[in-house]
Amino acid sequence: MGQIALITGGGGGIGGAVAHRLAEAGMTVAVADYDRAAADQVRDEILAARGKADAYSVDVTQAREVKAVVTEIHSRHGRIDVLANVAGGSIYTKRVEEFTWAEWKQVIDSNLKGTFLMCREVAPVMQKQKSGRILNTASNYGVTGSALRAPYAAAKAGIITFSKSLALELAPDGILVNTVAPGPTDTPRVMEKESPDARQERWYPVIPLGRTGQPGDLGEMYYFLTTPESAAITGQTFHVNGGLVMP
């Protein structure tokens, strides 16, 4: 039986790249996204490339929706081998005194709460299987902090430590938990806000490899963490940022 991979935020950007890469590896991919049309598009692209995929709509901040989508995927396939939590984002850019509590909570919920809810539902499935890979998503800002993105940095730092804690809890069940921390990455959402020339001027001089990341760079990292070659790795954070941050 082929592996089943659930990717949140799979409708585009990094999540879409992860979905495509895992499908290329022969996995059946459950593309889950708040934007159902985006999830459908990635599913259709995978099917057109002769891969296997389904699309699902889910708001990862809502426990009922998370439980429903995990139950549906498990009922359909009988297992979940990979969970990649990519959903999230910084949403706002402003000084801390300008944040309302509702805005702060929105950022925490879409990143940290969503990751927790997905892990809480998928972990028992993997525990029964005595196997599984959980891949959570942080950011270089979860290590360095970020002026004007305080709740986002706080949420991503929380994901790093949550992932370490979960790795310790689930190791006896043969489940590996790791975190991928992207640096500046040229996703469609980012490129809508900043031109290629502006990004090059801003980032290229300070990134040792001299370029920003591409979604495919991240897709390869997530894929590696699903392979037999990574079978002895758990509780780790992998920075994919061209050398911008070396913790």
Question: 15, exposed or middle or buried, with CB in 10 Å at 0-12, 13-18, 19+?
Answer: buried
Structure tokens that stand for 10 in this block: 């799979």
DSSP states of 38-101 as a string?
Answer: HHHHHHHHHHHTT-EEEEEE--TT-HHHHHHHHHHHHHHHS---EEEE----------GGG--H
Report the catalytic residues: 152
> 176 by DSSP, 3-state: which?
strand
